[in-house]
Amino acid sequence: MNSTWKLKGMLFFFHASMTIMVSYLPVYLQAMDFTGSQIGFLLAVGPAAAIIAQPFWGFMSDKWKTVKKILLVCISGALAIGFLVFQIAEYIVLIPMMYIFFSFLAPAGGLGDSLAQKVSVKHSVSFGSIRMWGSLGFASASLAGGIILSYIGIMKIYYLFAFFLTIGIVFCYFAPDSEPAKKPVQLLNAFKLLKNVKLMLFLLMIMAISLTHRMNDSFLGLYIVELGGNESYIGLAWFIGVVAEAVVFAFSYYWLRKFHPLTLINIAAMIYFLRWLLMTFVPDPSYVLYIQVLHGITFGIFYLTAFQFVTKLVPEELESTGHLLFISVFFGISGVIGSIIGGQVMNVFNLQVLYVVMAVLAAVGLLGSILYRIGYFNSEDGRREKEKMKQSIT
């Protein structure tokens, strides 16, 4: 406990600040009188920045053999540039500023998770028991943020974001750093990851699922507003979902041991499909609150198992690069595509139709995850894993 509580505090307050961006940025942009297409494009800027920034900062972390110092650079940069972003009202000027802002903010989440994974191995504790504090921070700020913003107004969103992030920076400064890998890291080694067939197929496989997840992140708040809810409903919806996520993380030590990660990914993909299907039938925002419980099960299982499976697919000295590459696909590429598609659907149809599209994509992702699992267990690495599992059982 004494060696990890500062890291847990950093995750708590950093994810609390991320709540403000994920849950309320679309509502802020709508209050700025931007159109659906403009909102979709602006929401896509962050993930677009993440596609390059996340692998870059991950590689710098491996190169300089420190996760904590790179993380401090990212979150401090986001705090400073964010102040400028929320002073801008012109759409054209806002685009490049948001790109710079998210080039610092987006990689920080992946770096925090990478640091948590490495510290968990060093101290022989479960990754989920550390990562759950990020979820608790997100959940707490979702509830408190909705209430506070309902009182002070959505236009003061930056001040709430900065409050949480500043405390996160203080905790990060005192948190433990990762153990440096013994092997030196060259840029050429990082590019070799692109030739890792199992890794590339895995990232391609998760794309359809992560696409639906990111669409929901971007448009859940607007869907609740479309159904007649307000900021308080949005905050409560995220609170319920992320508390459920924290519970899944907290008990990850038990369920991770019983099933192979790819089996768990299959299960999560199936529940994602059911979740989006249910969302197409909700008549008012109160039903969304019940369905949000499934967020914990879907994201909690999918993200945690996929994150740890990527660790198996990359060499030790490139773990942070591999983690941030995975996150750039999960949150970056998927976020760009999801935001643009969502904005167009919102313009032409409505957000209920978007959830139908998401259910179809989730079904495609489920099929892809099943095929990947079959292929993996028929490979040499998969056969070795099955042998080890049989021996551990006997």
CATH of the domain at 385: 1.20.1250.20
Please tell me the predicted confidence (pLDDT) of residue 325. Answer: 83
Band of the pLDDT at 173, cuts 50, 70, 90?
very high
The stretch 123-137 carries a mean pLDDT of 88
Residue 386, pLDDT above cutoff 70: no
In a domain, 183, yes or no: no
Token pair 């505090």: residue: 9
Model pLDDT for residues 263-317, shown as the tens digit of each residue: 999 999 999 999 999 999 998 889 999 999 999 899 999 988 998 898 888 887 7
In a domain, 294, yes or no: yes
Sign of the C-alpha dihedral, residues 290, 328, 21, 98?
A: negative
Give how far Cα 85 sits from Cα of 29, 33, 74, 90, Å: 12, 16, 16, 10
Residue 74, pLDDT above cutoff 50: yes
- Sequence-distant (≥ 6) Cβ neighbours of residue 270 within 8 angstroms: 366
Please tell me the predicted confidence (pLDDT) of residue 3. Answer: 67
Band of the pLDDT at 189, cuts 50, 70, 90?
low
In a domain, 103, yes or no: yes
Average pLDDT over the chain reads: 86
In a domain, 108, yes or no: yes
Please tell me the predicted confidence (pLDDT) of residue 389. Answer: 59
In a domain, 230, yes or no: yes
- Sequence-distant (≥ 6) Cβ neighbours of residue 30 within 8 angstroms: 39, 222, 225
The stretch 206-216 carries a mean pLDDT of 91
Please tell me the predicted confidence (pLDDT) of residue 101. Answer: 96
Residue 368, pLDDT above cutoff 60: yes
**In the 8-state DSSP scheme, what is residue 330?**
I
The stretch 47-72 carries a mean pLDDT of 87
Q: How far apart are CA 206 and CA 76, in angstroms?
A: 31
Residue 6, pLDDT above cutoff 60: yes
Residue 47, pLDDT above cutoff 60: yes
Percent of the chain with pLDDT over 90: 40
- Least confident range from 159-168, 255-264, 295-304: namely 255-264
Q: How far apart are CA 320 and CA 305, in angstroms?
A: 16
The stretch 331-354 carries a mean pLDDT of 83
CA 161 distance to own-chain centroid: 17
In a domain, 309, yes or no: yes
Percent of the chain with pLDDT over 70: 93
**In the 8-state DSSP scheme, what is residue 176?**
P
Residue 377, pLDDT above cutoff 70: yes
* Cβ burial 152-183 (10 Å sphere, 16+ → b, else e): eebeebbebbbbbbebbbebbeebbebeebee
- Least confident range from 204-218, 220-234, 268-282: namely 220-234
In a domain, 116, yes or no: yes
Q: How far apart are CA 265 and CA 206, in angstroms?
A: 9
Band of the pLDDT at 100, cuts 50, 70, 90?
very high
Residue 188, pLDDT above cutoff 70: no
In a domain, 182, yes or no: no
Which range marks the domain in which residue 203 is found?
5-177+188-393
Residue 388, pLDDT above cutoff 80: no
Other beta carbons less than 10 A from residue 299's beta carbon: 26
Most confident listed range (9-18, 109-118, 242-251): 9-18
* Cβ burial 70-82 (10 Å sphere, 16+ → b, else e): bbbbbbbbbbebb
- Least confident range from 200-214, 232-246, 288-302: namely 232-246
Domain count, the chain: 1
- Sequence-distant (≥ 6) Cβ neighbours of residue 213 within 8 angstroms: 272, 298, 299, 302, 330, 334
Please tell me the predicted confidence (pLDDT) of residue 1. Answer: 46
